[in-house]
Structure 1
């Protein structure tokens, strides 16, 4: 997960600002011990009893007490550990937890610094007994003159951790980590295309509201080893913040991507304006749909290009993302949702032309376990003028009020893959394009916008010759004209587009809906779009 300064600053913005939602991690800070030097051994504290039930009890009790923020080592020293200084604090992989056995997947730790100033305690669990991993400066490279060496002795100066590929692989020290937890309650994983991109969070408190968003922290972790590569690595976590305390249990499985089974028990100290369950955060600057003239030389820049939803009633929905001029919050009511995710569907390099490989970014899909009841899938889109700011949040907001003293218990799976884990057989939306309305060779009327919505799939490919799919349209306001469908002239079977003009007055957003059918047969997923007249 060795990423450049741009990705480092994305997460730094999230951790340090309440209005930006960064997700990317710091550059990889792991390294081998220099030849001839002895690798320092990890030191551990005394053993104490531990299991997830005890952790849930701990979180409930903590929620009943006033909030105490996690310790911060000497701020005058920590603020000197900037991007460059943090990059020199590389963890010695010979000192990785389970690097020489005892668990299939080694774990290395990350140091506090200017952008990650809060300490996180680390523990290893074996046979129901937990022992703290004690911080020692010599497990980090950087030299005796590094500013971090000025920190006084303390239980922890860890800020997060990496999960590495299986130690039986002789090259595991050279391979990218496949999961990381670093900063507030952010975590992320590698998708099946070998890239990282968007992130998840333990919880989201108030994104897109009038009040500043709150970012609680994972303040302590407990690791239970994976006995073999096919078995899960278990990570238990304590979440704490001014308004909430919670217990988490992550079962991390390394598959063709990564699958996480997550159990969370949340307890509110204070009322929360908007409680976001299973939140995903990503970056969307611009795409082929709407791009300001000459804003950047690249055709598209985004980590995700749409929100996919599978409703409790079985409808498959695709909502392309926007970079709006003001914060926009869209709510999609549902009962017992089957899943949702922020996805990167456009996989063509020529559409990005960027060496950071946006075309390989993972899609992340939330699969509820059990009945989540009533609520809304909520999408928050925040204006951005650069790719360093993650400006998209998708989450589940329960219908139950998030009042002080309330508790929420839930389970879900989080799939980090190239696509949705349970794709529909319906044709999928593959493009949304806007242009001036009206007809070629005629004066273009004001207030009219032309839409071209592309769909592709087997159900369209199997239409009898001469049969055109029918577009079914709806708009929250305005009127349609010049409505028709046609096969996209690229000789790809089942590739069709719906074309229509929308006439609308004013600048308020317009909600649009479209799908294709043939008689009573639904042929495509449902395209939703929020159009901002301009």
Structure 2
């Protein structure tokens, strides 16, 4: 069951709730969904609900769905669109509007959506008239089908544009202005890549606070449920130069649980100049993220390029109180991809900064073999060393930056390109480090490289400084001998002082 769920979620993730096919609502020609009876809502409402839910056995949400929607293909589901003007708050000049998303395709699990105003919450009631079903011919009377998720739009000079989408289990994604959707985040991951199989927590219900138009923030509460845990989430979204989402989480364990994943994120990666498994493609590269950036608790900047592997690869970077991590898209040139349709160079980077101390654990990176770009096969998450005992609670908070470039950056030269190819029995790597220091020809010429391999042997290291590019390119050969893998590490220094972030990579045969 877990394997099937993973395949489904990896396939649908790049579609991102098919957001790209859903145009923002335009002029008003329909009314937003009706609201139910108001009930009291306060800051601790969702926490109390999570505690109550944890005292009972898990039961998956159930709601009948006409077969015309449950049996949809991807394209048929994409044809279901919101009627222009049907977005909640679209005519109230609040800076945001909301579009509940239809159920169908693999998005059959219902989720309740509520609007909160003046301490009262009202359920959003499904209204078929607010959807254009295209060539589909649903029954005349559908009743209240509920929703599969929520799309958040922000006001812009052109009207409204996408800011974030929450849909499918606990998956969600956001973007900065002028970006397409890309990397996907998850509220909570459990046993990703571990036996007896992954558990997929889901959001059962949302509460969206009506925003103050002067604040430029939107607050979303969510109730999480799963076999092992329940949880209360509070997301505070601020669409600035980057879209910032502050996440505050309270988890309650139904049963003993370990192998938790916080700040989980996933990106699609098919091929690049670093790997050549799939090269029969007119494009130069296909990937949403170039690599995993880590700012360790000790202040060391690590860069780990990601790759599409022959076999599942799991890497763990042990740390104490990490200061930041994320899957970043550093390839911002069209020439890196030559893809006029997807424009991978525009995809968001996702950078996370923990709030408070996270203790001991590791940054876990999974690289899953993929044959198609519709699979989000690169997964990163923080895995705490300690799990949770039954009936205990845990609080964790962090800030997400969905951005062109993270606000925190290495003060030293950073990797802008990683390439690999075979030369005889050796593996040749070319790693380019770029930084203002190397604009000085004397500094660039004085750079030295420390390249290590374990196992295997580094047999050649050459440096090529380039003043115009403010970079030093390091070309080295790995002789793996009879080994089938090697952990590589590269750093640059000038006058015995660190001059670059630490480049890490696992070569596999």
Same fold (TM over 0.5): yes
Cα offset for 1:282?
A: 0.5
Contact 1:218–1:237 (8 Å) recurs in 2: yes
Q: CA deviation at 1:217?
A: 1.3
| Residue number in structure 2 paired with 1:483 | 461
1:171 to 118, 142, 158: 158
1:400 to 370, 377, 386: 386
- Where does 1:340-355 land on structure 2 (aligned, <5 Å)? 340-355=325-340
1:69-84 matches, within 5 Å, as 69-74=60-65, 76-84=67-75
Is the contact made by 1:453 and 1:498 (CA closer than 8 Å) also made in structure 2? yes
Paired position in structure 2 for 1:67: 58
Q: Distance in 1 between matches of 2:118 and 2:447?
A: 61
The equivalent of 1:513 in structure 2 is 489
TM-score, length of structure 2 as denominator length: 0.92
Cα deviation digits, residues 115-148 of structure 1 (max 9, x gap): 20011101011111111111121121237x8444
Alignment match, 2:143:
153
What is the deviation of 1:82? 3.2
Structure 2 gap ranges (5+): none
- 1:334 aligns to what? 319
- Structure 1: runs of 5 or more not aligned: 1-12, 438-443
Q: Secondary structure of 1:176's partner?
A: strand
Selected match of 2:272 from 284, 287, 294? 287
Partner of 2:345: 359
| Cα RMSD after superposing both structures | 2.4
Aligned pairs for 1:93-132 within 5 A: 93-101=84-92, 103-132=94-123
Work out which of the residue numbers 339, 358, 368 in structure 1 matches 2:354. 368
Query: Deviation of residue 419 (structure 1)?
Result: 1.3
Q: How many Å apart are 1:313 and its aligned residue?
A: 0.6
> For the Cα contact (< 8 Å) 1:452–1:498, is it kept in 2?
yes
Rate the CA distance shift 1:182–1:335 in 2: closer, same or farther, 3 A: same
- The match for 2:498 is 522
Partners in 2 of 1:30 and 1:19 — Cα distance?
24
Which residue of 418, 428, 438 corresponds with 1:460? 438
Equivalent position SS for 1:25: helix
Q: Does the 8 A contact of 2:444 with 2:472 survive in 1?
A: no
Question: Can you list the C-alpha shifts for 1:355-397, whole angstroms capped at 9, x where unaligned?
Answer: 2101111100011011111111110110001111110111111
Q: Which 4+ stretches in 1 moved above 4 angstroms?
A: 13-16, 18-21, 30-35
Post-superposition Cα deviations, 1:263-288, rounded to whole Å, max 9, x if no partner, equal 01112223445210010111111111
Residue in 2 that maps onto 1:9: none
Counterpart position of 1:238: 223
Map 1:386-397 → 2, pairs under 5 A: 386-397=372-383
- The question of whether the paired residues in 2 share the 8 Å contact of 1:31 and 1:92 is answered with no
> Secondary structure in 1 aligned to 2:161?
coil
Calculate the TM-score normalised by the size of structure 1. Answer: 0.88
> Quick one: structure 1 residues 293 and 90, their matched pair in 2 at CA, closer, same or farther if it must change by over 3 Å?
closer
1:314 equivalent to 2:299? Answer: yes
Counterpart-to-counterpart distance in 2, 1:85 and 1:466: 56
From the superposition, tell whether residues 294 and 518 of structure 1 become closer, same or farther in structure 2 (CA, over 3 Å): closer
2:233–2:250 CA contact under 8 A, matched in 1 = yes
Residues 188 and 263, structure 2, Cα contact 8 Å, conserved in 1: yes
Distance 1:229 1:528, change over 3 A: farther
Secondary structure of the equivalent of 2:162?
coil
